[in-house]
Amino acid sequence: MNWYEKLNQYFPVEEMKSKEHMETLLAEKGNVYIKDEGPKHVLMYVEFENFVFVDYLFVSKEARGEGLGRKLLNKLKEKNKAILLEVEPVNYEDTDTEKRLKFYAREDFKHASRIGYTRRSLATGENTVLEILYWSPNDQDEEEIYNAMKWTYENIHTFKDEQFYGDSYDPSSEVLVFKTDKKPNMLKSY
């Protein structure tokens, strides 16, 4: 099974980029869009000067509990930059969502509770609410995380979107919101 099939089996369709989109990012933005692949994992991430955005992290079921996810994140932490990623809120019908949140809480990620993020899927037309988690070596504030997420959305998620999907994603001003009030911390109970 190739790297895209592994990701496609694990991530919901509304969160997946098309294979052509990802291959184009690797080809045209290969200096920042990176694929780290092994027999038991696929890590797709974007590395910029001040932060790293984890686009996809897949660890095979057979390898879970072996510490592979931690090793992959530690490799990114060694870069000494903030690490951002998107996660689904807990869905008690999908036990992986809770396991995922526990994992990131153990890895010292924080919930960006002032960032609202609702993305319309071009594959399904559905709006998906996602949460932003981040790890920071120097306690960056959420406004910096928001700006990094906005930059990622505008330069990676929407890169050539019309070419790949026949439609454009919504503008970042409609997708990402920086709020004055904090939402409840979704990692607090872990």
180, with CB counted inside 10 A (0-12, 13-18, 19+), is exposed
Strand order in the sheet with 127-129: 127-129, 115-120, 176-178
Name every residue whose Cβ is closer than 8 Å to that of residue 173 and which is 6 or more positions away in sequence.
none
Name the pTM for this structure.
0.93
Cross-strand pairs, 176: 117
What is the greatest pairwise CA distance in the chain? 45
CATH number of 3-178: 3.40.630.30
Q: What is the pLDDT of residues 100-124, one digit of tens each?
A: 889 999 999 999 999 999 999 988 8
Q: What is the pLDDT of residues 55-110, one digit of tens each?
A: 999 999 888 888 999 999 999 999 999 999 999 876 656 667 778 889 999 999 99
Q: What is the pLDDT of residues 160-183, one digit of tens each?
A: 999 999 999 999 999 999 998 888
Sorted by where each begins, the domain ranges of the chain are 3-178
